[in-house]
Amino acid sequence: MGSIAVAIAWIPFVVVAGVVLAALAVVFGTIGLRRSRASGVGRRASIGGIVMGSLGVAASVVGVILSVMVFREVVRFAEPGDVATDVTACELDGRRATIDGTVTNLDDEPRSYTLFVELGGRTEVVIVDEIRPAETVTWSTVVRARSAVSDCDPDIVVQGPFPYGIEVDPVTR
């Protein structure tokens, strides 16, 4: 159990299982060490359980820190703050649509946004970096729809920046 705890306790969100296994390794190692005094058997294995369980507890501290970091990044992406978007122009050319718009930061702190612009079954990603509070920035993208589009009314979903700077071949403002 202690060895498995060391192996998994540092992994974000899996840390819970690592903590349980590490604690069990320390508890069972301690019980085994006490019993080995009476029987003379299992002392080394019990000490190994205590040592590996203790290392698992130490690894779980790293796991908790990493879990918090990942959670914060995901929340920052999922909750972009107060924002307003507007489509200012949309030109259709068969399956191709050139879409222009604005994004306004309505929050009290600078924000970056990821805009998912969907039209005709296709989605393009637009990255807008560091907009100051109350600032409006223009953006533009081209969406190549799966079939001819008669109405240029794109759906826009606004998220925060991608976690850890992951890029998906974005169009930058």
pLDDT at 170: 53
Looking at the structure, tell me whether residues 101 and 59 fall in a common domain. Answer: no
Last residue in a domain, options 28, 44, 77 = 77
* Interval 49-92: pLDDT, tens: 999 999 999 999 999 999 999 999 999 999 999 999 999 999 99
How many structural domains compose the chain? 2
Looking at the structure, tell me whether residues 35 and 92 fall in a common domain. Answer: no
pLDDT at 93: 87
User: Could you list the residue range(s) of the whole structural domain that residue 41 is in?
Assistant: 2-77
Per residue, what are the HEC states of the chain?
CHHHHHHHCCCCCCHHHHHHHHHHHHHHHHHHHHHHHHHCCCHHHHHHHHHHHHHHHHHHHHHHHHHHHHHHHHHHHHCCCCEEEEEEEEEEECCEEEEEEEEEECCCCCEEEEEEEEECCEEEEEEEEEECCCCEEEEEEEEECCCCCCCCCCEEEEECCCHHHCCCCCEEC
129 has pLDDT over 50: yes
pLDDT at 140: 95
pLDDT at 173: 46
Looking at the structure, tell me whether residues 164 and 91 fall in a common domain. Answer: yes
- CATH number of the domain that 96 lies in? 2.60.40
pLDDT at 169: 62
Q: What whole-number distance in Å separates Cα of residue 61 and Cα of residue 10?
A: 7
97 has pLDDT over 80: yes
> Which residues fall within 8 angstroms of residue 127, CB to CB, at 6 or more apart?
112, 113, 114, 115, 161, 170, 171, 172, 173
Please, what is the average pLDDT of the chain? 91
Looking at the structure, tell me whether residues 149 and 113 fall in a common domain. Answer: yes
Asked if 58 contacts 89 with a C-beta cutoff of 8 angstroms, the reply is: no
Looking at the structure, tell me whether residues 44 and 86 fall in a common domain. Answer: no
* Interval 144-159: pLDDT, tens: 988 777 888 899 999 9
Last residue in a domain, options 19, 42, 77 = 77
172 has pLDDT over 90: no
Last residue in a domain, options 44, 77, 110 = 77
Question: For the residues 117-132, what does the mean pLDDT come to?
Answer: 92
